[in-house]
Structure 1
């Protein structure tokens, strides 16, 4: 009787580290969304003040997406990821030491630094998935690590009220929670990470599986990242970047949902707000994993890569349409469920959108392209924050109707543009020539 050698599963340990990093990342950034109503009351901020704090984060996130993406492509995921998390750890903890006299400017500065560091997470994670998983598994692997964004977003409203109290008097401690976990993550990452071809824990069978559907041969030697001047003009880059405009919707859900529930439905208690946000992010978690699995399922059933990715994106876009009715209902839990469904749809969309980059770009350009797209997403989020701050202070809560209507319809429009730019998902080689 013959036995088959185990294929090897070390790539899933790497994936677990990506999941943990993304969880920490989103817990850090979500704390502000949970504490938003409390801090607005304590520091007497207007909606425009709160919008400016969020804009500071997104401005830095946009800058960081370009700089961190290029840095990760140049130095690799091991060092680049560690630098990213160290930066966001320091600035995340800095929030706790801001004094009331400098609250607005202090929070804007801390959010700016946090945005620079957190911008490195997705370029590094998507590049790592491309290094450790074959193409047919990448959407699923991306969905797994991207689910960490929702776990972190769930932990924030679940943990913050316990730490800060129902009235938020101990809000400072909420910003210190993730610092310890970030430091531990960096130490473990630096100890365990190497590329699969250099890793002693990766079997020959696992390495062969990782590389078995790689159409484009890439050198194992370190290479310089491609300059933006070569990557920026590509249709592939702009298809992804335009797709990332939908990040504005996700930022809207993340940073403004608590304000929406407070102003439209009168939820003030942190435990009530936390419960509503937990439901939203739990559904988003299932969406992230399900979206990645959806694409893999279509491929396993014989769909080509192009059809599998775009059909998955279409299903995600249709799940988001009903959110237009969220500000029209009188029942807070119907609104919660509609936002939850849309959040799940967005995360499923995001898992497949990220995978488009590794489908078509050479590995040395992946982090840079993800960074360019992330910059576009962050700028879109800034515009939404500005519109919300001005619109809510001027028109009141009725302005939410406009925002939800735009959020509902945006994905179908974006998908059409992506298809027009990339009717086929043909990969590019290291010289950025199409491989047919």
Structure 2
């Protein structure tokens, strides 16, 4: 019996929102390679020649700006998850898109690290709304057996956003200046806000969803209402919440590290014999994030296929996460090789594995909690991931300046295996909470 497939159009809509989300947050990673941007932030004349000491100072300050963004991102999860569960997915995400787009445009008007700190802080608050809203949407629109695949599909928008940023922002910066890069990408957010507002509804309210598809979506529907007040403190009583916290706190900082520091790695790594600048840095990023896009979709699909093949939720999710964790281990070699092509491939495999890990960890909220708690639980996970990212960001600049990239890539290599071990101790068997 044909049941309809309108739910996959919702994934496409979430994919678009996530793509713009990642474009807005990644412009800075490429703008930092522009000499004019560096000089304006350091407050020196444009005719001044930057010394190595100036560049080291810039990288340390950049690390603190990145820390401010991630701190705001963490605080945003505290508010946004709660807000989305009360306002609903449509209005909650619309508010978040509007805020991050305004902050993205404001980035074009700063002239100092202090101004950049303020705009990136506001950007972090707004961008925190994307994933709680998207995960709640997936819980509303998909049965459990399709959620990891659906999550992997929309989560692939993260890489498309980075690919588009790598392809367009360096060119735009070289030809029109770094301010125009921020302005253009920020305006894109307001366009996607309009698209979101016009197209999104819950499945039971959407006129294009057939009765057969609605019954399919709700086949394993969890309890919609929870008795008693839903709070963070109540959710923190459950081991399932802490499993999500560990999965995000330990893995998200590695992804943030890739987004923030890979342009600098290819531009100034001491190990590589070939270094890249704004004119040619886009190509390795296209390779890395095209491959990692495939990882997001593949590992989400793999987990769903395991379940369709008869595996239970626990075995399907954890087996997939173990494969992802093992794929990240060789990345420490990227800090040792002189070959830029080998470094690119190692980083691409690790990035693909991270997105596969992320697609499965994100489903923890909808796998084990009632739908009415999904956004708040995802917010808790996102908060913990952002806190971990902020902690690593605070140390990444000094570590990179003093010791190079080797310690940072070593941290990335083994973090996922340790995280999976802790998750398995917390929840030996994945099962829904009783609330």
TM-score by length of 1: 0.92
Measured in 2, the distance between the counterparts of 1:56 and 1:243 equals 22
Is contact 1:74-1:223 (8 Å) kept? no
Q: 2:310 aligns with which of 302, 305, 308?
A: 302
Q: Is the 8 A contact 2:267 2:277 kept in 1?
A: no
Is the Cα–Cα contact under 8 Å of residues 33 and 277 in structure 2 kept in the other structure? Answer: no
For residues 38 and 329 of structure 2, the distance between their equivalents in structure 1, rounded to whole angstroms, comes to 31
1:173 partnered with 2:171: no
Q: Does 1:325 align with 2:323?
A: no
Aligned with 1:377 (options 363, 374, 385): 385
Aligned with 1:210 (options 203, 208, 217): 217
Which stretches in structure 2 are left out of the alignment for 5+ residues?
A: 43-56
Of 358-367 and 174-183, more deviation after overlay is shown by 174-183
Q: Deviations over 1:230-276 (max 9, x none)?
A: 11221111100110021000000110011112221362421322212
Deviation at 1:365, TM superposition (A): 1.1
- Name the CA distance, whole Å, in 2 between partners of 1:411 and 1:165: 38
Q: CA deviation at 1:301?
A: 1.7
User: Of the candidates 20, 24, 33, which is equivalent to residue 24 of structure 1?
Assistant: 20
3-state secondary structure, aligned to 2:387: helix
1:219-230 map, 5 Å: 219=225, 226-230=230-234
Segments of structure 1 that go 5 or more residues without pairing to the other structure are none
C-alpha offsets along residues 90-135 of structure 1, whole Å, 9 cap, x if unaligned? 0001111113xxx101111110000000000000000000000000
State the Cα deviation string for residues 406-433 of structure 1 (Å, max 9, x = none).
Answer: 100000000011111111111125xx2x
Match of 2:5 among 6, 9, 31: 9
- What is the CA–CA distance in structure 2 between the aligned matches of 1:77 and 1:255, rounded to whole Å? 29
Distance (Å, rounded) in 1 between the aligned partners of 2:398 and 2:357: 29
What does residue 408 of structure 1 align with? Answer: 413
Where in structure 1 do 4 or more consecutive aligned residues deviate above 3 Å?
A: 39-45, 222-225
Match of 2:205 in 1: 198
Question: Is residue 423 of structure 2 the alignment partner of residue 423 of structure 1?
Answer: no
- Partner of 1:285 in structure 2? 293
1:327-377 deviations in whole A, cap 9, x for unaligned?
110111111111111000000100011011110011111111111111111
Q: 1:271 aligns to what SS in structure 2?
A: coil
The 3-state SS of whatever aligns with 1:270 is coil
Tell me, yes or no, if structure 1 residue 111 matches structure 2 residue 117. no
Taking the aligned partners of 2:400 and 2:223, their CA distance within structure 1 comes to 53
SS at match of 2:361: helix
Shift of 1:181: 2.8
How far 1:286 moved relative to its partner?
Answer: 0.7
CA distance in 1, matches of 2:430, 2:73: 28
Does structure 2 conserve the Cα–Cα contact (< 8 Å) formed by 1:226 and 1:365?
yes
Counterpart secondary structure, 1:272: coil
The farther-off stretch of 258-267 and 293-302 is: 258-267
Deviations 1:255-306 (A, max 9, x none): 0011112221362421322212221111111111111101011112211111
Question: Of residues 236, 247, 250 in structure 1, which corresponds to 2:252?
Answer: 247
Farther off after superposition, 146-155 or 35-44: 35-44
Normalising by structure 2, what TM-score?
Answer: 0.92
Contact kept? 1:224, 1:364, Cα under 8 Å: no
- 1:89 maps to 101
CA distance in 2, matches of 1:165, 1:286: 30
2:267 to 244, 259, 262: 262
- Alignment RMSD: 1.7
Q: CA deviation at 1:383?
A: 1.4
Q: Could you say which residue in structure 2 is the equivalent of 1:66? A: 78
Give the Å deviation of 1:178: 2.7
Q: How does 1:115-154 map to 2 (within 5 A)?
A: 115-154=124-163
CA displacement at 1:187 relative to structure 2 = 2.0
Contact 1:73-1:224 at 8 Å conserved across structures: no
- 2:191 corresponds to: 184
Question: After superposition, what is the alpha-carbon deviation per residue over 1:11-63, rounded to whole angstroms, capped at 9, x for unaligned?
Answer: 11211110000000001111111222223355345221010110110010000
Partner deviation per Cα, 1:376-417 (whole Å, 9 max, x = no partner)? 111111111111112233x2xx33111101100000000011
Partner-residue secondary structure (3-state), 1:213: coil
